[in-house]
Chains A and B, each alone.
Chain A
């Protein structure tokens, strides 16, 4: 198995632009998670899906952030419009069940200028 796949690995954009991060979970996993990691705040859960349905998005910072999971093998995290304070590493993780071991992707390092 290739593990959790994220793209792009690095993204540099200008303030106000739309950013879309992509994730392909491990095949057969039913739960998918989006995290954000910064030096100041550490690792924070943004949203998680179970069987493609968003279960808890209370960690999504504001309306500029949205996430979708149209099928079991693909999810997106979109920021529109992006701001410099959104600069962080965004991780996607998946697990067989919501309380099982999570397997993390390599992350997308986002820089908003």
Chain B
């Protein structure tokens, strides 16, 4: 059974720092991995999607990497800003069937001005 873990559950850093969020999964047989952002009281917003054949994806100050063999993904945020404060979730899809998508519990990120 696939399990997705995100540690730490919460993280607080000063503005301007670069930071890394971690996601680990127990079954390396995945179709893709996706990072989402969730603001309080809001739905999820997709940030980056990495296919199983890819090693990383970049969007602006965000860079997500994928290492299937070790069951790990990281989300790198450069030059953090207070507006980056949110909960970040990773989600793993086992195959093209959407019913196999498994979410981590998220990391609550707080950027101190």
Contact = CB atoms under 8 A, between A and B. Distances in A.
Q: Interface majority SS on A: helix, strand, loop or mixed?
A: strand
Contacts of A45: 98-99, 101
Interface string B20-31: 000000000001
Which of A42, A44, A93, A99 has most B Cβ within 10 Å?
Answer: A99
A91 B44 contact: yes
B83 interface: no
A74 interface: no
Contacts, number: 55
A48 B98 CA distance: 8
Contact of B34 (A56, A101, A105): A101
Interface in A15-56: 31, 33, 42-45, 48, 55-56
Interface residues of A, number: 24
B59 interface: no
24 contacts: A4-B43, A33-B98, A42-B104, A42-B106, A45-B98, A56-B98, A56-B99, A59-B99, A91-B43, A91-B44, A95-B98, A99-B31, A99-B32, A99-B93, A99-B97, A101-B34, A101-B49, A103-B46, A104-B43, A104-B44, A105-B43, A106-B42, A107-B41, A107-B42
Interface of A: 4, 31, 33, 42-45, 48, 55-56, 58-59, 91, 93, 95, 98-99, 101-107
